[in-house]
A = this chain, B = another copy of it.
């Protein structure tokens, strides 16, 4: 196992993000195997004032996981050990570099699953998921990492280890320090191990795919669906016809239902297949839609691979927005009207159940004038609706200057104070998450 990587070609994959949208010029990747090694690295870097870029699976979408300049890359790739799993409580403790899909496979063998799932599961690391507070496809059912992460071990900027790796569902002894590291994108400390509450593997999973005549129908179907499926509803995802076109064109997947302006993917997960199917069938009858309950894997592919399909279009301007659900699609319509032919495609999809829209604008290649037409318009639009300009992707390098659209000045100042306190030399993932001081 290579613990030190040098050489321009060897380091290159660590310097470029998954979208190929940002590139650093680090000359050194370190891959520690233990928390003690992470401590050693940070202690040295802290002493020598060397900047460090913590990196998990490098699947982030906002340029947070690669260096901006020549930061030393600290990869969790070799920290991939499962530490413990308790079948009674469902609590998993593992190192930060475990790949999400591997963890899920391990758990499935024991009748459990991870509480989160996302398109990048095959390469993302659980430490990176926690550091970016990843949302994903199961949030509607199992809640966010703020509730499911029970403990963390974190190495601070000066190399000291903070052990908050408890395996308890409830612990009210003092401030919940781990929360500060969840979603801090490696700017406050390096997460080295995670304790997480895992739900039982559902005995029955059903997927339905529906066409809807309008976005109003998508919303109406959601309300009906939530009422009739209740506690077994585990995902309510939507996509527009433009998404379907892109997926069909680039990935040769085909829509299982008749062409519609909107599509909805509904998943149920429950403990009794007879009950679940009855609930779903009742719902489908009521919805009187062309829904079919069939091969869920194929249907999920359609949804999960939209991001991938979009990259085939050329350059992708990606926006990950939280909005009140009723207004969710208006942003896509407005953006499409605004950009006209200057964009190749303007598509909208996302986790409707969470109020989360993924707005994507594609073009043959990057253009500054197109960017100017999109931003700050998209952020101003979102701020007017009290939305969030980053629902789940984080701020990273690309969005950090826009934080003020979703957070008041006092909050940003307080965040900067936390950063200064925990990383006084500013060596941890510099130029990320927080705006540069004015």
Contact = CB atoms under 8 A, between A and B. Distances in A.
A356 interface: yes
A415 B231 CA distance: 38
A407 B231 contact: no
A176 B170 contact: no
* Size category, A interface: 35 or more
Interface of A: 86, 88-89, 132-133, 135, 139, 143-144, 146-148, 160-164, 166-177, 179-180, 182-184, 188, 200, 202-203, 219, 223, 226-232, 269-272, 275, 278-279, 322-326, 351, 354-356, 386-395, 399, 403, 406-408, 410-412, 414-415, 417-418, 421, 433-434
Given A177-B415, A230-B200, A270-B230, A170 B184 contact: no
Which residue, A164, A387, A411, has most C-beta atoms of chain B within 10 A? Answer: A411
A415 B392 CA distance: 27
B86 A177 contact: no
Contacts of A418: 175, 421
Contacts of A168: 322-323, 355, 386-388, 391
Given A135-B172, A271-B279, 15 more contacts: A89-B355, A162-B410, A163-B410, A166-B406, A170-B355, A170-B356, A170-B388, A170-B392, A172-B394, A173-B403, A174-B407, A176-B180, A200-B226, A230-B272, A417-B421
Contacts of A399: 173
A188 B174 CA distance: 11
Copies per complex? 2
A167 B386 contact: yes
Given A231-B270, A410-B160, A415 B175 contact: yes
Contact of A414 (B171, B177, B391): B177
Contact of A135 (B170, B227, B271, B412): B170
Nearest to A139: B170
Nearest to A233: B271
Contact of A395 (B174, B177, B226, B232): B174
Nearest to A325: B88
Contacts of A144: 147, 170
A408 B322 contact: no
19 contacts: A88-B325, A135-B172, A139-B170, A146-B179, A162-B411, A163-B411, A164-B408, A168-B387, A168-B391, A169-B356, A172-B391, A173-B390, A174-B403, A175-B180, A175-B183, A175-B418, A200-B230, A230-B272, A275-B279
Contacts of A176: 133, 146, 179-180, 182-183
Contacts of A232: 231
Contacts of A180: 175-176, 179-180
A19 B62 CA distance: 51
A279 to B, nearest CB: 6
Contact of A322 (B160, B171, B202): B171
